Structure 1
Amino acid sequence: MPQRELQGWREFFVLYPFDDRHRYHKPAALIAAVVGGKFEERIEFLSPRPQPVGYSEADARTLAAFGIKPEARKH
C-alpha cells in the first residue's frame, strides 16, 4: 500500500472510528438473525438508542415514528 493511501486511511479512521456497535453488536445481531432471530430486534437490544432527556419513552417513540429527532429539553 502506498504511503499516501495509508495516510488517507489513518485520517478516515480518526474521523470515523469503529465503535462497539460496528465492531461487536452488528456482527452479533447478524449471527442471531442467521440462527432464527430478527436482526432489527437484536441490534436494538444490544445497542439501544439513547432516550432524549425530558421525554418519556412513549414520547420518544412517537416522535421517532414521525422521523423527528428531538433535542433534549431543559428543565
Structure 2
Amino acid sequence: MKMFHVQSLEILHCICDQVLKTKDVKDMQDDDIFVSAIFRAVQLGQVEFVTHICRAIPMLHHIVDVDGRNLFQFAAECVKKCF
C-alpha cells in the first residue's frame, strides 16, 4: 500500500510539472476539466492531493469556480456544509 501511495505522489508530481510547463493561470482557468477536477478533490476532502498540487502550482489560488469562489473559499463552504 505504501509503494502505491509513493507512486501516486510521483505521478502527481509529474502531472504538476507538465501543467506548469504548458499552462498559465488563464489557460488553467479556461480548462473546465482541470478546474472541475481540482474543485472536486476539494469537495471530496482529498487534503493530501490538494495540498500537494497547491504547493506545486502556487498560482492555483487564482482559479475560481463558476460562483467566483477560489479553492479556499470553496473548501470553507464544504466544511461549513458538514456541520
TM-score, length of structure 2 as denominator length? 0.31
More RCO (CA 8 Å, sep 6+) = 2
